[in-house]
Chains A and B, each alone.
Chain A
Amino acid sequence: MAILSKEEAQAILKKALGFSKADECEITLSGNNGGNIRYARNEVSTSGAEENVSMAVESRFGKRSGVATINEFDDKSLEKVIRRSEEIARLAPESPEYVELLGPQKYITTKEHFDSTAKIDPAYRADAAAKSIKAAADKGLTAAGFLEHYTRFTAKMNNKGLFAYHPSTVVDFSVTMRTEDGTGSGYVTQDFSDVSKLDTGKASQIAAEKAANSRSAKALEPGKYTVILEPAASIDLLQNMFYNMDQRNAEEGRSFMSKPGGKTKVGEKLVDERITVYSDPTNAEVPSAPFSGDGRPQQKVVWVDKGVVKNLYNSRFWASNKGAVSVPPPSNIIMEGGNQSLEDMIKSTKRGILVTRLWYIRSVDPQTLLYTGLTRDGTFYIENGKIMYPVKNFRFNESPIIMLNNLEALGKPQRISGSLIPPMKIRDFTFTSLSDAV
């Protein structure tokens, strides 16, 4: 029941819409079916499965709107949820940000659903955990890891003629390995739409190697260093930047994209000219839904082209209010890179620090997009093209804007958290103190 086909979803949505007496009505039907397994101290600690289907109905009378949800789909329940949303709408104040619902839309097709992932069962999960634990135990290490997977669908229909349907799958895996004496720690994370690309045993080798090689780290003085940020290290900073390119915040003067006098930085060079970032739901490595949460079509959108800001995203209200092109938030983040592998990038580094992961990243100043956080689970000193020794973790204070201006080199992009990000070599990355944490 949790995962409905396009035809099944369409039939339920049509029936529900038939009960509507509102001026406008839009119904979203979504479901997921998933499972997870968690392990620590080289044994499984918890595992679970969940499934859920739910329907959200928005009814509108004029500029008044009400939302109700339900998870039963017999005729009586469908009528009940429609009526409830209508009652709530009648009592609601008029919205000053009302925009008429979208009519029929043309969506591109994206392939984000893979049978391989939809078929994951408890036996697969146990085996995936066992392979990871074995990689740790073989080297005398202790593993703590987590694997979770989902099969999902989203369908949307309204009384203006819009219909959308998209099925998807995803699997997320991460493991932290620690040496028994607690002086070394390594990490790896991978996520895919197609689980056949995931080998938890092989991935775990990377964490194991980093843990074993990071024993007895040396302390370096904090300061400005050339760093190689693996995609798992840079992803959060980049997401914090690109998911905050909201036009309204920028025009209201409260964003890193704002300029004096209510202007924005669109059209300006913001970062190094080798930086090009776009979204593309059809990308085979990081496929995503062809429509946004409010039903707007998703397609390729360039956010930064050769260092110049090209687009900000907006709400439908803000776009119509400002007479701007309607641009939904990013469907994914794809940063163009080069062909160099991580090893090549290390080889070409005279002095620098390899960073596996950044942790506990918190905003310090939204005006400059300054963030603080720490390196974690594999930080190494590089000299003359070679990893020389592990170093103690650092706290950083850095803005992704400054970071992308101090670019030295880009490697081959790889998938991380649903985005495609290259390893990056950055000069003058600001480390402000040392941490004893392993």
Chain B
Amino acid sequence: MLRALRRVSDRRRQANGEYGWLFNPYTGDEMVAIDCETTGLDTRRAELVSLAAVRLKGDRVLTSQSLDLRLARPASLSGDSIRIHRLRGIDLEGGDSIEAALAKFLDFVGNRPLVGWCLEFDLAILNRYLRAHLGFELPNARVEVSQAYAKALRRSRPELIPNLRFEAVAEALEVPVMGRHTALGDAVTTALMYTRVQRGLVG
């Protein structure tokens, strides 16, 4: 409800702005799987380290059309998060500034529906940046793969209690995990999982 209201007001405000077209309904047949790596798990404080998106069309994952962005070193880059995403301060040197990254990301994603694993978290962070820099949040339709999987599994094998860990689901769907904890790798894996769930190949 709140989100809907916010979207309406965003739309109003952006109507004549640069990104007004993002609010139009999408008519194509592509989707975009996204993932980002951050410095922490607190959506109010964590900063973006890298951001990736890959397009999906039917049962193809168009890895040839993918976006993999590294951001300039955020202030809160700490040892703990480096251990997870393995991007050190050095690796982020020459990364994009946050404004440039957001611009590229919006251009790539457009108004296509978004697919993600724990999409809520990624979007919370992205929207925090978007609201601060551009004054709106992503209006795109969303597909949460873990939920889609749980739903499909409930339908096909109601007796199972789904194990919704990323690796476990990947294994259940026979999807190879590619480059875990790199933004693009996770995005591609998520995209593959989604195509599997879409075709009803659960369980």
- A-B complex is real: no
